[in-house]
Amino acid sequence: MKIAVLALQGAFAEHENILDRLGAEHFQIRKREDMDKAHDAIIIPGGESTVMSKLLKDLGLFEPIRNEIISGMPVFGTCAGLILLSSHIDGDDDYGLGTMNIRAKRNAYGRQLGSFRVNAGFKGIGEIPMTFIRAPYISQVDDDVEVLASVDEHIVAAMQKKQLVTAFHPELTDDVKVHGYFLDMVKQASA
């Protein structure tokens, strides 16, 4: 199993550190040619979603990544990755990949000063630490989307088929359970 990690901005190195701890092979996607390397899944980290969308388009990565996801490639999006995967983004539906039937509210918890940490339950895992940084939340899901975690009555993790999203940053804690959950999804998809 090999995981492609989008490495345009954000905490991609921290995702790679967690993958290393779990013994998962990985490589970075920085340019169009990187998409030609064999991979079984993609991680889209946090960052600034509008900048990431522009970079994806400028580097010729937007359509190849979107097409892989639509074709069934497992994907894990954290924070900005959640926004990019959302089919609807409050205020602007035009820049995301739009592959997951959710509505995202950007910067829902406020600016940088609205960042916080909490322990909360995650379906199938149990209680885990969650780090929120200028985080979105999911304000609406379609019937085919499974809600995995909520904080203060806001959806902060969900799954649709082979797409997993979190509004928080599991890569910024010592807990590897969410990444393990994703790798289990990838294994099941490969079986």
Catalytic residues: 79, 169, 171
Q: What's 162's DSSP letter?
A: T
Tokens of 90: 């409050």
Cα separation, 20 vs 142, in Å, equals 34
Cα separation, 76 vs 98, in Å, equals 14
Tokens of 104: 């995202």
Selection from 132, 188, 186 nearest residue 164 by Cα: 186
**Residue tagged 């000063």 (tokens):** 113
Tokens of 48: 């600034």
